[in-house]
Amino acid sequence: MIITEAAVLGCAAPAKINLFLHVVGRRADGYHLLQSAFQLLDWGDTLDFHLRDDAQIVHRNPLASVPPESDLCVRAARLLQREMQARGQTIQRCEIRIDKQLPMGGGLGGGSSDAATSLIALNHLWRAGLSRQELQEMAVQLGADVPFFVFGENAFAEGIGEKLQAISTEEAWYVVLAPEVMIPTPQIFSAKDLTRDTNHIKIADFSNDAKKLRGFGKNDLQAVAERLFPAVAEVRSWLEKFGDARMTGSGSCVFCRVEDEFHADVIVKSAPVKAWKAKTLKRHPLAQMLD
Ligand code: C5P
C-alpha cells in the first residue's frame, strides 16, 4: 500500500468465507437473523483512491453491469461525505479505481469488502477522523456484510451480521471454486423452503479451541441455493472428494479446507470451473489504519 497526501494506492479488499451460516430467525422488516463465523482470506480486489478537486466522486472503471450510482464504493464514499457534512467538516472528493478479482454473486463479500475498504481508506485520505466503531455503525446501511470488513478480524456474527465478536480461527489454506452462476442474495433469503429456525449456538461452543470450527455447523442457505442453481451442487460434490466442501454466504462459490499450498495447487489445476487458492488472514490488511 502507498499512502501520500493526495492518494492511497493498492488498498486490499479481501474475500470472506462463512465457515458456517445459520439462519435463526427473521426480523419484522424481512431481514434474517443469522449466526455465522466469518473468515478473511488473503485474496481479493485492490482499490486506488486519488483526491480530486474538480468533480464529485468519480469511478474510473465501473463494471458494465453495475451503474456507477449503485456501485457500493461510490455509495460508501457518498455516505462518508454526508457524515462529514453533518459534522461540519469540509466535503472532499475522490477518484476510485478497482482491480476486480472477486466474482459477483459469489458469496465472497466482494462488493461489501470494496465498500468497507472505501470507508477505511477515504476516512484516512479525507482526514475524517471517524473511529472503527463509528465506521462500522455507518457500514450496515451499505449491506449486512460491510460491518464485518470494517471490524477487520475473523468474527462470530449475529443479528443480521452486524453484531461482531472476534474469534481465533486456524491458519489454513482453502480452495474456492466459482460455479458459473451469479446468485442474487434476496432470491435465496426469500425462498419458501429456507430453514429459518436453526437452534442458537454459543460462541463458547468453538471459541476455546479453533480446531472445533472444523466441520462445525452448516450453511442453511446451501440447500435452497443448490435447488435453485444445480450448478452449485455439481461443483460442490466435485470438491467433496477433497474434504468438507461448503457454500459460502448465499453462494455461488464453494470452498474446502486443504492440507497445504501444494494440495491447493493440485486441486485448482484440475478444477472443472474457475478456482483459486487462498490462505487465511488473521486481520484485515487495512485494519492498522483504524488503530
Ligand atoms: O444487506 P445485503 O445487501 O447484503 O442483503 C441483500 C438482501 O439479502 C437483503 O435485501 C435481504 O433481502 C437479504 N438478507 C436478509 N438477511 C440478512 C442479510 C441479507 O434477508 N441477514
* pTM over 0.85, yes/no: yes
> At residue 249, does pLDDT exceed 90?
yes
Query: 20: pLDDT confidence band, cut at 50, 70 and 90?
Result: very high
The one catalytic residue among 45, 48, 114, 145: 145
Q: Is 161 in the pocket of ligand 1 (CB under 6 A)?
A: yes
Measure 151 CA to ligand 1 centroid, in angstroms: 19
Across the chain, mean pLDDT equals: 96
Pairing of strands 7-26, 2-3: antiparallel
- 133-160 CB burial, b ≥16 within 10 A, e <16: ebbbebbbebbbbbbbbbbbbbbbbbbb
For the segment 88-98, the average pLDDT, to the nearest whole number, is 93
What is the reported pLDDT for 98? 96
Measure 269 CA to ligand 1 centroid, in angstroms: 34
Angle (CA) 79 101 279, round 5°? 105
For the segment 254-279, the average pLDDT, to the nearest whole number, is 98
Residue closest by Cα to atom 3 of ligand 1: 143
Ligand 1 pocket: which of 189, 196, 220, 248 to mutate (most atoms within 8 A of CB): 189
For the segment 104-112, the average pLDDT, to the nearest whole number, is 96
The C-alpha atoms of residue 177 and residue 166 are separated, in whole angstroms, by 27
Q: Is 186 in the pocket of ligand 1 (CB under 6 A)?
A: yes
Least confident of 18-27, 61-70, 129-138: 61-70
* 65 against 284, higher pLDDT: 284
Pairing of strands 57-59, 94-99: parallel
Query: 68: pLDDT confidence band, cut at 50, 70 and 90?
Result: confident
For the segment 224-247, the average pLDDT, to the nearest whole number, is 98
> At residue 200, does pLDDT exceed 80?
yes
Cβ neighbours, 10 Å, residue 244: 12
CB 177 within 8 A of CB 254: yes
What is the reported pLDDT for 55? 62
> At residue 274, does pLDDT exceed 70?
yes
What is the torsion angle, in degrees rounded to the nearest 10, for the CA atoms of residue 141, residue 46, residue 257 and residue 142?
10
Angle (CA) 61 81 133, round 5°? 105
**In angstroms, what CA-CA distances link 228 with 101, 104, 204?**
25, 17, 34
What is the reported pLDDT for 225? 98
Residue type, 177: L
Q: Is 189 in the pocket of ligand 1 (CB under 6 A)?
A: yes
CB 245 within 8 A of CB 255: yes
Is 145 tagged catalytic?
yes
Ligand 1 pocket: which of 31, 140, 192 to mutate (most atoms within 8 A of CB): 31
Is 193 tagged catalytic?
no
> What contacts 3, CB < 8 A, 6 or more positions away?
9, 124
- SS3 at position 255: strand
Please give the number of the atom of ligand 1 that sits closest to the Cα of 33: 21
The grid coordinates of residue 238 equal 466435485
